[in-house]
Amino acid sequence: MQTPVSDAAHGHLVSRGSKFRVLVGVTGSVAALKLPLLVSRLLELPEVEVQVVTTTHAMHFYRPEDISVRVYSDKDEWEMWTQRSDPVLHVELRRWAHLFLIAPLDANTLAKIANGICDNLLTCVVRAWNLDRPLLFCPAMNTAMWQHPITATQIAVLKGFGYIEVPCIIKKLVCGDEGKGAMAEVSTIVDFVKEYLQRSTVKE
């Protein structure tokens, strides 16, 4: 398991070496079932380190023991901070990551981010994110939700922030509907990350 080392003096999450650090955010879409596969495929990339930040609802769709890296949740944010000198987890994760990949991004979290709401660990990382570093998001929702006019508006807001959309696809959804709204294939998502890995010169 790849686990960041805690710098006791400064509270920072640090890594040994100069790996490209990918923070994967996972939200409460059924596409979260693909998290173990996504993490394993990302770890196959050379010189890549991965950590995960999850919403509570996302945890309904995968087993933490199936994830080979550290998974951070809201519980960790509050347990880490007990006094003023303690590190703030969402800030430490923001500092640690070279790239933030939200896969899947469900309709609820999409709406939160578009409106600046930061009421859990994942959305706090987004709100604190360094806009000089890439943030990729992979929408995933029911076709009827995808087709609602508010969705296009909120997607446009995120892209206006400079975030990069990994477009959803057409397929038969778990709910039985067939249409657009499914998360992009894992191979496609990994290809997007590879593009940024290839152009990146990692600097601390």
Active site residues: 175
Q: Which residues pair with 90 in a beta bridge?
A: none
Q: How far apart are CA 121 and CA 74, in angstroms?
A: 5
Q: Contact, 133 vs 99, CB < 8 A?
A: yes
Q: Among 138, 139, 137, 143, which residue's Cα sits nearest to residue 172? A: 143
